[in-house]
Structure 1
């Protein structure tokens, strides 16, 4: 009987959610049949508190490194990770984001793990020249790299530091639609739980309240339409350091009662059907997972045409706007708000059909399984 292939997935932080409909790491584990793969999930920082969810991997490891231990030379963290991997003798290590990738690039010179996969979730990780030089000197035949969208893959290739057409692929994020739709409340239930009126046309957004998400431009764009569309309201689900600034902007523009900052909501996807229009005004995104979440709720989408999202918006028949451009965003919102309820529903169904065809979770899982199997012939023999 063949031994099982031993797979470690390494994350910078503990980040397991109670639902994994859109969790890239957990969906990779879904792709690996237990009779053939032994799976371990590891986190450099953080660990679950009592009652918090754990990974579906067979084992979870929490290294518990501090921020200080993961800066600079990281000697203690590197030595601890090296000893752990040497003892466990993994066949595959999957690294999420720059820090785990960088650490394993250095350590695998000695560990000689047959296959290492580095996943890039966005842009900018290799902008610094010294990072590109270091990476170029460490990439070898054991490595494969994944961009979470074609745009992220192209970013990696353009860095010219060891990422090539031969070792780099795009595997676009997907959503488990069956699980996602089972979570979603009805329009009436969602609005009731959020404390929102049942008889308004509602623009919705979901995301951390940080500058890169562009929520301030959404608020400003809505202000230009508030008088023209008196039955329209805007609601944003999320928390973050921009909350005070957004609240001040809402007050400055006289939008109290028309714009709602709803704060953090556990399993926020439950509320997606509360909205009539889904907005994502980000200034930059690696993929724009929240955009897919809006599509899963059968909603028409309006979003910034940053490289990672533009193909999704166009495929879904949505409205693409210039990032950070209030005029463009206001014009797009006005177009949607001028449609009848039936026309909006038709646009939402077009969005959902695109998602179900082009971001199928089974395809996502199969692509990761194929990547591992095609890259490990000596282990599978």
Structure 2
């Protein structure tokens, strides 16, 4: 029997969900035929509690390092990771986000794993000069890199620190559309579960309550239209450190009873059909999966024209607004709130057709499988 290739995925934090419709790492596991690949998922921090889900990979490893162990030189963490990788003899290591990439860049000088893949999910990871200098020194023929959108790929290449057109690729995030749709409640049921009005015209948003998500601009834009559209309401799913500030802003803007902070919801996608319009006013994004989730619910989208999202908004026929531009966001909301039900549904159907044609999960899986197979083939050709 032919030996299976051993693949390690290294994650910064334990974050496994019961449903993997939008889980990048779990979808890569699904991309690898089990008769040819043996997969291990390893997490630098965290581990599941009783009854919590585990990865679909063949093996799961929880280093459970403390925050302190992963700061500074990280010598103990590096040593433990080195010993683990050396013992297991992996053929491929896939690193999600900066810290795992940085650690494996250092360790693979000695491990010589044939193929290492570093995945960047956003901008800014290599803005610091010392990070670029270190990366430039450590990137070698063993490495390939992925940006989760063409804009993230271009950011990496423009850093000029070892990322090139030859070793850096754009594999756009996708979601498992059939799985996502199967999770979604009907419009009526979703509103009932969220405690929202059955008759309101609802603007929805999903994301952590942090400044970069731009929720304060959405509140201001909605407040400018609250008297023009008295039947309209706004609801935001998510939790975070800005919750108190946003709640205070709701009161200051006279949006009590009209704007709702719904808090964290497990598998928030299940509620997406509660809404009529999907808004994503982020100041920055790598590729906002929440935008794709809104599209899977057949919702018209309004989102910030950040580089990673602009092609998606345009392709889906949505409305793009400058990040932080309340006047543009107000005009976009006004345009969609003024539509009748039939016209709004037609816009939502347009976004869904775009999603199906451009963010299919099977294409995503095949791109990762092709990258891994071609990388291994190239490694076998090159002298050690």
Q: TM-score range by the shorter chain?
A: over 0.9
Please give the residue correspondences for 1:254-293 in structure 2 after superposition, counting only pairs within 5 Å: 254-293=254-293
- 1:260-296: per-residue Cα shift (whole Å, max 9, x none)? 1100111100000000000000000000100000000
2:136 aligns to what?
136
2:300 aligns to what?
300
1-structure distance, mates of 2:117, 2:123: 17
Unaligned 5+ segments in structure 2 are none
1-structure distance, mates of 2:100, 2:375: 20
Match of 1:225, SS state, is coil
Please give the residue correspondences for 1:1-381 in structure 2 after superposition, counting only pairs within 5 Å: 1-377=1-377
State TM-score, norm by structure 1: 0.99
| Superposed displacement of residue 380, structure 1 | 7.4
State TM-score, norm by structure 2: 0.98
2-structure distance, mates of 1:81, 1:34: 24
| Superposed displacement of residue 2, structure 1 | 1.2
Inter-CA distance 378–128: structure 2 relative to 1 (3 Å threshold): closer
- Check conservation: 1:204, 1:234, Cα contact below 8 A: yes
2-structure distance, mates of 1:132, 1:356: 37
- Check conservation: 2:142, 2:379, Cα contact below 8 A: no
2-structure distance, mates of 1:260, 1:202: 11
- Check conservation: 2:122, 2:152, Cα contact below 8 A: yes
- 1:126-177: per-residue Cα shift (whole Å, max 9, x none)? 0000000000000000000000000000000000000000000000000100
2-structure distance, mates of 1:379, 1:29: 21
- Check conservation: 1:91, 1:379, Cα contact below 8 A: no
Moved over 3 A (4+): 378-381
| Superposed displacement of residue 238, structure 1 | 0.3
Q: How many residues align?
A: 381
Q: What is the CA RMSD across the aligned residues, in angstroms? A: 0.8
2-structure distance, mates of 1:254, 1:315: 35
| Superposed displacement of residue 379, structure 1 | 7.0
- Check conservation: 1:132, 1:161, Cα contact below 8 A: yes
| Superposed displacement of residue 378, structure 1 | 6.2
